[in-house]
Structure 1
Amino acid sequence: MLWGSVVLFTLVVGLFAATLFHPRFGRGLSQSGWIVWGGLVLPLPVLTALTFYAFSQGEFLLSGGSAKTEDVLEVRAVGSMWQWQFSYPSLPGSRTATGLLHIPAGRTIEIIAESEDVIHSFWVPRLGGKIDAVPGHANRLRIRADQPGRYGGVCSEYCGTGHAGMRFEVQAHTADDFEKAIIGEVTR
């Protein structure tokens, strides 16, 4: 997406620079021609490619990618003023964590986002899209960390005076370290 937008930006700035530094450059085209060719025809292939890429990535996350259904790990994320609680319903003996989500790297994670009070929004920018957590409703989002590491997460829906501090961290582990982390042996 970034590279597609860079291409589009470069095309538009290039045309602008050409007309600015070579005043006769654009005189062969009428004003309506500039609008049609420069504003519609030129960006259309790039925007079309970006749209199909975005749809394919969305379908990849919704279907779990190449992962089978049994390989998807469910994590319950409950937002309340002004923190996130994470639990692992399918893993007996796991602990509930506040503000720190442990996930295994290389595995698809299905976040079940819920709220106890107002609308919050679960968002980990480096791992995928975002989803609203609405009181009385469970929304689902799939994320995946390809490499072990730490990823910042935020609530991206204004939820009151403590909204700015409603941050959390996602820590992606190797498979062995993940099992230790969810039973409390690995800390921040």
Structure 2
Amino acid sequence: MAALCGCSGPLSTLDPSGPSAASIALLWWVMLAGAGVLFALVLTLFLLVVLRPGWGSRLPSSRWIVLGGLALPAVILLPLICYGLLAGERLLPLPGHSPPRIEAVARQWVWTFRYPDRGNVATTNVLHLPAGTPVDIDVSSEDVIHAFWVPRLAGKIDAVPGQVNHLRIQADTPGRYEGQCNEFCGVGHARMHFVVIVDRPADYPAALAAAAATTKAEP
């Protein structure tokens, strides 16, 4: 019961609200199931040795190394690796399709979001997204290495000085989501979080304009 408490919450990867996050959550469950099967097989062999002394003694040690150390893990791990690679490929932006773009610029210990497709307006520590629409986030840094992560919407990607990394993100439903830097970046790292506001498509332009006006009014 205590472990299940970690499966929900604003920063839970197991409570997805977007296709990328759902793919990552499914990958986690598949990996957990594979690890459970492998653990059960190893535990079964261990119990057979303990409860039935002499069991398996007819097999030479080299055979045990090949079967138990190579063949048994390969039966589980190779399919998991293949599935993980396929799942990772599905998270990459598709070539030839250009959705709206937002620039996420990190610096100690603030996130600035610029919207080139919306007159290059900017918001601070608040990212606005339209619901049901894929958006490409161009992530960069002005000082040290940070990381952009909204667990319920997509995987994480590093913000590297002098380099722009791309992450496609999509939220299924309007609401408020939490994001954070999960790469240690200095003494203020714990405070480097941001809010993602997902608006209905019809409300998105007005909500973004209001947030940008608030950012301009701040000292």
For the superposition of Structure 1 and Structure 2, which TM-score range results when normalised by the shorter chain? 0.7 to 0.9
Identity of aligned residues (%): 44
Work out the CA distance in 2 between the residues paired with 1:30 and 1:127.
Answer: 51
Work out the CA distance in 2 between the residues paired with 1:7 and 1:34.
Answer: 25
Instruction: Report the CA distance between 1:133 and its aligned residue.
Output: 1.4
Work out the CA distance in 2 between the residues paired with 1:133 and 1:177.
Answer: 29
Q: Which has the higher helix share?
A: 2
Q: Does 1:175 align with 2:191?
A: no
Instruction: Report the CA distance between 1:76 and its aligned residue.
Output: 0.5
Report what 1:134 is aligned to: 160
Work out the CA distance in 2 between the residues paired with 1:113 and 1:97.
Answer: 15
Report what 1:48 is aligned to: 78
Instruction: Pick the aligned partner of 2:111 from 72, 81, 84.
Output: 84
How many residue pairs align between the two structures? 183
TM-score normalized with structure 1 length: 0.80
Work out the CA distance in 1 between the residues paired with 2:141 and 2:206.
Answer: 28
The 1:41–1:105 alpha-carbon spacing in structure 2 relative to 1, beyond 3 Å, is farther
Instruction: Report the CA distance between 1:143 and its aligned residue.
Output: 1.8
SS at match of 1:183: helix
Work out the CA distance in 1 between the residues paired with 2:201 and 2:194.
Answer: 21
**Please, which runs of 5 or more residues in structure 1 have no aligned partner?**
none
Answer whether contact 2:38 2:76 (CA < 8 A) is retained: no
Report what 1:96 is aligned to: 122
Q: Which has the higher strand share?
A: 1
Q: Does 1:24 align with 2:44?
A: no
Work out the CA distance in 2 between the residues paired with 1:8 and 1:176.
Answer: 43
Structure number with higher relative contact order (C-alpha < 8 Å, ≥ 6 residues apart)? 2
Deviates more, 1:103-112 or 1:125-134: 125-134
Instruction: Pick the aligned partner of 1:117 from 143, 148, 166.
Output: 143
Write the letter of the residue equivalent to 1:83: V
SS at match of 1:140: strand
Answer whether contact 1:122 1:155 (CA < 8 A) is retained: yes
1:73-115: per-residue Cα shift (whole Å, max 9, x none)? 11100101101111111112x6422111111222221111111
Instruction: Report the CA distance between 1:161 and its aligned residue.
Output: 0.3
Write the letter of the residue equivalent to 1:14: A
